Amino acid sequence: MHFTQSYLTLPATFYKEILPTPVAEPQLIIWNESVAEELGFSDTPTNYTKFLAGNETFESSQPIAQAYAGHQFANFTMLGDGRAILLGELKAKNDSTYDIQLKGSGRTPFSRGGDGRAALGPMLREYIISEAMHHLGIPTTRSLAVIYSGEGIQRETVKPGAVLTRIAKSHIRVGTFQYAAQFGSIEELRALADYTIEHLFIPENEKPYESLLQEVIQRQATLIAQWQLIGFVHGVMNTDNMALSGETIDYGPCAFLDNYDPATVFSSIDQQGRYAYGNQPGIAGWNLARFAESLLPLLSDNQEQAVERAQAILDSYPKLFEQAYNEGLCRKFGLTQTTENTKLASDFLQLMQTHKADYTDTFRALTLQDYSHDFFGHTEVQSWLERFEQSMGTRTSQHQHMMEASNPVIIPRNHLVQQALDEAETGSMEKVITLLEHLEKPYTYSPAQLDFDQRPPETGRDFVTYCGT
């Protein structure tokens, strides 16, 4: 494997060189064959175990921990990779370059008193959810492998430890720029911005930093719209968890909607509902404003003029999000986006909320014209169906294809993921493997896929997720 480490071209304030801490008895427990092939891991998977556990170092690797800051629940703090180490970058078969990062690989200068380790359950959760998001067509980091460490780590109880290998286009975050703006010089901030423009292929023009801001806003507007359309709740949308690449990153207390309710919160630490499902578009806008603030010194030497330029670009976010979301929402109904169709779709969501309808199950039933569910028996829903059929007219194969391509049969149901993780902690990976096999084909309307999906035993409202740190 030939690694490069372009991050070392940045000023040293942005990273610390550090080696992973070896684990006791590394054991490969899951391997992503498609990612491995794309990245050129051509040897027998177990031959990489010691390297991906951090017990050995690839010859060309120059491991570092990245520095960044961020707003966590609106409170600014200094952060950094406290339990992750970036091994370097590999060029894939498609000529794109990807970061290879170990998560749970030991303490770093940014650990802030933490042990730098990760538990098996959260690492497998990230593997499962990130792979599900990829197959759902949503930009995301991916996972190459999970290594069981052979060690117990202390959380609420002693948990089996693990190391995840994460793959990303980039690990540069909003918080990376906040760190540069708060603690670095203008020259260091400019170096980071220039690096990001080159690394993320930002279109070049005479106003590069304005282009950077606009491109990041566009990518985030599209990404958050996709989250909303699939019913994904990130759970911890701190600015250090927003990647400028437009990839979903840091799968901590994430989950998927069961019953449709914009106020849904799963995270155990989100007591005020800041990162509720319905708040995600607004929080993304808030995070982007923090990114814009960090760029002000590069937009103009005149503070007032810099703010005006940043604000003019930020003002595009609501429209970009609304456009992406409304177009995607109408596609879930097999309709083109018009004001009337958007109103029709929004009315359906309101009915789903009123009657506590399951998000994925209800759209799947609508796609299949299966109106046997209790939800469709309500008088006002029947009236809505009449409006819907009038708007669509005769359902054609084009309508059907659009709906099937927009409404998954399978999502990572929270209770199914938890059951798989609980079993994995006992030493069996059977449920994890079975779940992953189904999640690879989320839009396949086959009997096997339809039979596999199971709504939770109850409403799912009491489901709680944890960060795992």
Is 240 among the residues known to form the active site? yes
For the chain, the straight-line distance linking the first and the last C-alpha, in angstroms and rounded, comes to: 31
Burial per residue of 138-157, b for 16 or more beta-carbon CB atoms within 10 angstroms, e otherwise: bbbbbbbbbbbbeeebebee
- Annotated catalytic residue, options 81, 99, 240, 358: 240
Burial class (CB in 10 A: 0-12, 13-18, 19+), 158: exposed
Distance between CA atoms of residues 263 and 248, nearest Å: 21
Query: d(Cα 467, Cα 402) in Å, to the nearest integer?
Result: 36
Query: Distance from CA of residue 428 to its chain's centroid?
Result: 26
Q: Annotated catalytic sites, by residue?
A: 240
